[in-house]
Amino acid sequence: MLQILGRTASICGGVSRRQLLQAGGAGLLGLSLPKLLQAEEALLGQKTAALRPRAKSVIFLFLFGGPSQLETWDMKPLTSSTIRGPFSPIASRTPDLHLCERLPQCAAISDQFAVLRTMSHDYNDHSGAGHFIQTGKRWQIPVGGGFNATPQDWPSIGSVVEYLDQNVSRDGLRSPETRGQRSASENLPGYVVLPNKLGKIQSTPYSRPGEYAGWLGRAYDPITTSVDKANNEDNPYFRQCSNDELTFQIEGLLTPQSMTLDRLHARQSLLGQYEQQLRGMDNEKTWSVYDRYQRRALSLVTSAETRNALDLNRESVGIRDRYGRHLFGQSTLMARRLVEAGVRYVTVHWDAPDGYSWDSHINSQDLGNHLMPGLDQALSALLTDLKERGLLDETLVVCLGEMGRTPRTNATWGRGHWSTLFPAVIAGAGIRGGIVLGQSDKDAAYAVTPPYKPADLAATIYHALGISQELRLPDTQGRPVPIMDGGQPIVDLFG
């Protein structure tokens, strides 16, 4: 008997094609079957312009909540006291760049990164802004209209990378220069989100938009790990985390410790029944694509490479201390481990537990005591570690939030949402270190030079990876849709 969507059907009596596709869409082993038939047709014969890739991998550090530009990378010490904030500036290795006194380690290596001072968009809300930053496309939900991801969302950059990595060898979608850029092993995912899906650890859990594949199909969603809070009041970003907490289990899959041979064989038996029915269908194309995803799912469960890459205990005490024992530091270290193993795109979230986050409406004490010191430690450690391992030249590091903060503070030194102007830090993969692009006004409120949009940032990431902006992907109806909706690579970033 094969059970599909809670109903039992006889194998001897046959299972309908619709039931099989429903089972695939529901997802085996936590993964899913996308709308494959339309995608296959849209992909045939498609070509992209030859681009020479600069980056093999991307580490995307997402500071969700909106860090204040005035307390980080765009300090204005000469502006009025109601605007400049409570912290003092310090010199960096970059001419004319003063950073906050709570970022001393980053200031000491600022010649390793560039600052985009004038990022800007008009979606002044967390969920939609997060979608904008991670996809380069404005969210279709109006401001205030929702918090959670939908199947109609634009695919994340990481999902596009995953899509190409899964399809490149069959369809030749990318140029010869990019063809060798897949994961080092088929047993590793191409796109991973750490330490949790965005929104999981809030008191009201969300599945925030931006990190998923959206209309591209759930098979291209990221592999997401799971690290739970100790309790509802806990903030693991602000404290030292124990080794027992930091298991980075793959969400939806069994842990390595609980994966016994009997349980694994039971899963393989179920999949074998599914395969037998699917092989009997006329559409060989559907089977061939499903087979790749099924094998990928099993490989993630059983792969020693995956388990090893996700095992932080393999790192030295010194390296772990360098990154910081808080959740962001250890997740950033995990990102380095994954790209070193061959994963192509890793997103690390600094999520927003209620009242303890970059969404600093109330006061700036957390900024000075936890947020900026944690960022300073993790980001500087990552860039230094990548350089020491010879990985910085082939790894693009992007660090920013989805918005900035209002120039004028409130009575408790908090700041509101301000998507009009906010900074980004970019390093590695040929990025010119020690530069600042874009000029802001005296209050860090508006851009004086033309601002950079989320679409420009997305185009820059694709450019670094050697992915043409002209690439088209199939939408839910199988129609070819360009991966970019406007935006140009910021070529001045590159040497």
Cα–Cα distance for residue pair 193/153, rounded to 1 Å: 17
Q: How high does pLDDT run on average in the chain?
A: 82
Domains of the chain: 51-260+299-493 (3.40.720.10)
**SS3 readout for 77-111:** CCCCHHHHCCCCEEECCCCCCEEECCCHHHHHCHH
Kindly tell me if the per-residue pLDDT of 62 is higher than 90.
Answer: yes
pLDDT score at 272: 52
Q: What burial letters (b/e) apply to 372-394, b meaning 16+ CB within 10 Å? A: bbbbbbbbbbbbbbbbeeebbeb
Cα–Cα distance for residue pair 282/54, rounded to 1 Å: 43
Kindly tell me if the per-residue pLDDT of 269 is higher than 60.
Answer: no
Contacts of 480 (CB under 8 A, 6+ apart): 42, 46, 472, 473, 474
pLDDT score at 86: 87
pLDDT score at 451: 98
3-state DSSP assignment of residue 480: strand
Question: What type of residue sits at position 422?
Answer: F
pLDDT score at 104: 98
Within 10 angstroms of residue 471's Cβ, the number of other Cβ atoms is 21
Contact yes or no for 347/197 (Cβ under 8 A): no
pLDDT-based confidence at residue 251 (cuts at 50, 70, 90): confident
Within 10 angstroms of residue 90's Cβ, the number of other Cβ atoms is 15
What token pair was written down for 399?
Answer: 């660090």
Contact yes or no for 54/461 (Cβ under 8 A): no
Kindly tell me if the per-residue pLDDT of 471 is higher than 50.
Answer: yes
pLDDT score at 252: 66
3-state DSSP assignment of residue 415: coil
Kindly tell me if the per-residue pLDDT of 89 is higher than 60.
Answer: yes
Cα–Cα distance for residue pair 423/402, rounded to 1 Å: 10
Which of 116, 147, 63, 61 minimizes the C-alpha distance to 360?
Answer: 63
Cα–Cα distance for residue pair 15/10, rounded to 1 Å: 7
Which of 122, 119, 130, 126 minimizes the C-alpha distance to 156?
Answer: 130
Calculated CA dihedral for residues 326, 147, 117, 93, nearest 10 degrees: 10
Q: Comparing 15-24, 84-93, 370-379, which segment has the lowest mean pLDDT? A: 15-24
Residue whose tokens read 């006194």 = 101
Contacts of 84 (CB under 8 A, 6+ apart): 70, 75, 76, 77, 78
Mean pLDDT along residues 178-189: 56
Q: Please state the φ and ψ torsions of residue 306, each to the nearest 5 degrees.
A: -65, -45
Kindly tell me if the per-residue pLDDT of 173 is higher than 50.
Answer: no
**Helices and strands (H and E) in the chain: how many:** 15, 17
pLDDT-based confidence at residue 26 (cuts at 50, 70, 90): very low
What token pair was written down for 413?
Answer: 């030194």
Total-model pTM: 0.83
| Per-residue pLDDT tens digits for 155-172 | 999 999 999 988 864 444
Contact yes or no for 202/351 (Cβ under 8 A): yes
Contact yes or no for 220/159 (Cβ under 8 A): yes
Contact yes or no for 256/307 (Cβ under 8 A): yes
- What's CA 249's distance to the chain center, in Å? 17
Q: Comparing 105-109, 112-116, 125-129, 225-229, which segment has the lowest mean pLDDT? A: 225-229
More confident residue, 216 or 365: 216
What token pair was written down for 38?
Answer: 């339309």
Cα–Cα distance for residue pair 74/78, rounded to 1 Å: 12
3-state DSSP assignment of residue 1: coil
Between helices 157-171 and 126-135, what is the axis angle to 10°?
Answer: 30
pLDDT score at 48: 41
Kindly tell me if the per-residue pLDDT of 130 is higher than 70.
Answer: yes
Q: Comparing 192-201, 229-238, 438-447, which segment has the lowest mean pLDDT? A: 229-238
Cα–Cα distance for residue pair 474/44, rounded to 1 Å: 11
Rounded to whole angstroms, what are the CA distances from 88 to 99, 100, 102, 228? 8, 6, 9, 36
| Per-residue pLDDT tens digits for 283-330 | 544 444 445 545 555 666 667 888 889 999 999 999 999 999 999 999
Cα–Cα distance for residue pair 192/301, rounded to 1 Å: 15
pLDDT-based confidence at residue 114 (cuts at 50, 70, 90): very high
pLDDT-based confidence at residue 355 (cuts at 50, 70, 90): low
Of 195-209, 348-362, 391-405, which has the strongest mean pLDDT?
Answer: 391-405
Cα–Cα distance for residue pair 404/447, rounded to 1 Å: 13
Within 10 angstroms of residue 434's Cβ, the number of other Cβ atoms is 16
pLDDT score at 331: 98
Give the burial class of 98: count Cβ atoms within 10 A of its Cβ; 0-12 exposed, 13-18 middle, 19 or more buried: middle
Contact yes or no for 58/464 (Cβ under 8 A): yes
